[in-house]
A = this chain, B = another copy of it.
Amino acid sequence: MEKLLSIWFASGMYNITFGQFFMIIVGLVLLYLAINKKFEPLLLVPIGFGGILANIPEAGMAFSAVENALHFARPEVVRDLAATLGATSFDPDQLKHIYYDSNASTHAAASLVAQDAGYSNGMLYNFYTIAVASGAAPLLIFMGVGAMTDFGPLLANPRTLFLGAAAQFGIFATVLGAVGLTSLGWMNFSIKEAAAIGIIGGADGPTAIYVSTMLAPHLLGAIAVSAYAYMALVPMVQPPIMRALTTQRERKIVMSQLRHVSKREKIFFPIVLMLLVAMLLPDAAPLLGMFCFGNLMRECGVVDRLSDTAQNALINIVTIFLGLSVGSKLSADKFLDLQTLGILVLGIVAFAVGTAAGVLMAKLMNQMMGGNAINPLIGSAGVSAVPMAARVSNKLGLEANSQNFLLMHAMGPNVAGVIGSAVAAGVMIKFVG
């Protein structure tokens, strides 16, 4: 009977909090969006499922050994942890916050105490620590993305890099928005948090995850979810803005065919980019370094087996761990917050502003080049969201003129946007990191 009761007291049904219940619903909604609506499923399926796992009551899969020890709160363990943390309180919740704020040495000591008491890190916590907190997973995914990226269209028309620059305005406008909301007293974001939120406007998953791991790890869940969700929403968010800012005549502009780009140019490009990063912005070196490395493996033609692995087995493995790890940050106590709402609102603003800035820059360039060289619709592709945004440009071009294939032209700003947001990430890590 005692055992029966103990199983009931340890069951999820008995212990579930409203927050956990709600977050499990959120996880199910993410799975629905990923599976039925095809919202970036490669990330949102693991994130959604990870979110459900993270919120299973009493399982503690997303928690560290210390958090698990404080959750079960056996008095002697709490006492030992309080001593290690140098705290006078014995309240588990307070101790948890003291633990969060303490430094690396204290973390290590507290972790040993919790392990001595028989608690261990949850599996998702381990995945998060190894894959994400170390920064490794986003960098490896960026390497794989580099190995999948063809810079041909960009090299054929390098001026499209300006479009990739302009669209990053969405990032910085959002930072300003976040601090503005804070100034108005509606929200409470630090400059680091504002920067991490802004990067959603980069429309680039691994960059967003990398930056928020560095600047605001507690917001990682909300930032990653909104980055991927809005990337999936690009076909809905961008078209009205693009139509509003362009005339029918502009949308009908047919761009001249792209020149042939030689193999050698493609080999040199990642090296040139890497050297420029090295000379100007070392803080972007990890992100763009791995990206250029992946691209060089792709183009150099002598390490095809490494390039294949980077594009397949390796990126898939890392994606599984990254997704589950990000999902682990969807635990109720970290996600259910007014801040998350602010992040969702600011994220969509970031996408909209970036899209507008890209289109306007394309209009400006078109004016400066005589009015018939650049279809402004390719400007929106500068936000990245590869290759979705380029497809949107193509679709609107076809709507205006059924012979107007913009896809290859839009791929230039599209990959430029990846570079642009990685540079923006470097600047933000440099200034507020």
Contacts and interface: CB of A to CB of B under 8 A. Distances in A.
B431 A286 contact: no
Interface in A47-65: 49, 52-53, 55-59, 61
A282 interface: yes
A41 B309 contact: no
Contact of A104 (B31, B35, B115, B324): B115
Contact of A42 (B267, B306, B314): B306
A306 B293 CA distance: 23
A368 interface: no
A116 B105 contact: yes
A305 interface: yes
A400 interface: no
A302 B104 contact: no
A324 B286 CA distance: 12
Interface string A1-37: 0010001001111011000000010001001001100
A292 B274 CA distance: 41
A316 interface: yes
Contacts of A297: 45
- How many identical subunits does the complex contain? 3
Contact of A316 (B309, B427, B431): B309
Contacts of A324: 293
A317 interface: yes
A269 to B, nearest CB: 13
A292 to B, nearest CB: 8
Given A11-B279, A24-B278, A116-B104, A309 B320 contact: yes
A291 B56 CA distance: 15
Interface in A276-310: 277-283, 285-286, 289-290, 292-293, 296-297, 300-303, 305-306, 308-310
Interface of A is mostly: helix
A290 B324 CA distance: 10
A277 B55 CA distance: 12
B317 A53 contact: no
Contacts of A7: 281, 427, 430
Contacts of A105: 112-113, 115-116
Contacts of A122: 286
A262 interface: no
Interface stretch (A90-98, A132-140, A388-396): A132-140
Nearest to A431: B3
Contacts of A306: 42, 45-46, 316, 319-320
A12 B104 contact: no
Nearest to A106: B116
A388 to B, nearest CB: 15
B302 A310 contact: no
A271 interface: yes
A274 B134 contact: no
Given A113-B105, A306-B46, A306-B320, A278 B56 contact: yes
B300 A305 contact: no
A187 interface: no
Interface string A47-85: 001001101111101000000000000000000000000
A301 B305 CA distance: 24
A302 B123 contact: no
Closest 4 CB pairs of A and B: A309-B316, A104-B115, A41-B302, A59-B282
22 contacts: A10-B430, A11-B282, A12-B279, A24-B278, A31-B271, A31-B300, A34-B300, A35-B300, A41-B302, A41-B303, A45-B300, A46-B306, A49-B289, A61-B285, A105-B112, A123-B135, A123-B139, A306-B316, A309-B312, A309-B313, A313-B316, A313-B317
